[in-house]
Structure 1
Amino acid sequence: MESGERRSVINGRGGAHLRATARDRGRRPLRADDLMTSPPRPRDVHRFVRGLLSLLLGLFVGSSVAFVGSPDPTGVFTLVAGLALTVASAAGIYVGIGRL
């Protein structure tokens, strides 16, 4: 912070006040409206939903194939193979959904 700029000030009642810098807010106290972020763009929401869907489907496919294909379904190999197949199938599903 530069000299003369203050971010927090203790008021007389013992509570903390947030004050914006002179450059940021024009020497007025920071209000709750200033802390609001802009709503997410539809493209960002689409990417998030596509990623979540591909991860869930990849987890189901990867763990199912690893459970059925391993000689000992309760062993560590099943977990490692399930994770590897989950990552591979989730990446493939994510790319495939993007091409639809």
Structure 2
Amino acid sequence: MIFKFLIGLLLAWLGWRLWHGWGRPLPGTPKPAPAPAARDPEEAAAYAILGVAPGADADAIRAAHRRLITSVHPDRGGSPELTRQVNAARDTLLKPKSDPKN
């Protein structure tokens, strides 16, 4: 009798998890830590222009720049101003970070 109850309880739990989405966390599960914030407003704007998360590595920044520049370049019918903004965003994010101690 108790075995049937436990099996029913397990099946009810599995049904609940399938109904509410297997990949989503259970209620009360702590949320993941947010991505690191940009150091200054110019850097935050550069991340937004390129569409990458703050703290993205250089390869992701270069890939996002390459993807965007093919659509906004003046040779492809884009705008020179947009090209300048995309290039400036790339340069801002790829410039060597100065040591905060200096």
What TM-score, normalized to structure 2? 0.34
Greater strand fraction, Structure 1 or Structure 2: 1
Larger radius of gyration: 1
Give the structure, 1 or 2, with the largest relative contact order (CA under 8 Å, sep 6 or more).
2
Normalization by structure 1: what TM-score?
Answer: 0.35
